[in-house]
A = this chain, B = another copy of it.
Amino acid sequence: MRQMRHPPIEDVELEQVFHALSDPMRLGIVRKLAGSAELSCAALEDGRAKSSVSHHFRVLRDSGLIRTRPEGTTHMNSLRRAELDARFPGLLGAVLAVSPPPCDTPPRDD
Interface bits A61-104 vs B (CB < 8 Å: 1, else 0):
00000000000000000000000000011110111011001000
| Chain B residues near A93 (CB-CB < 8 A) | 90, 94
- Judged by a CB distance under 8 angstroms, whether A109 is at the interface is no
CA distance A16 to B23 in the complex (A): 9
How far is A98 from B10 in the complex, measured between Cα atoms in Å?
Answer: 12
Query: Which positions 1-39 of chain A face chain B at CB distance < 8 Å?
Result: 13-16, 18-19, 21-24, 27
Give the chain B neighbours of A16 by CB distance below 8 A: 22
List the interface of chain A (C-beta within 8 A of B). 13-16, 18-19, 21-24, 27, 88-91, 93-95, 97-98, 101
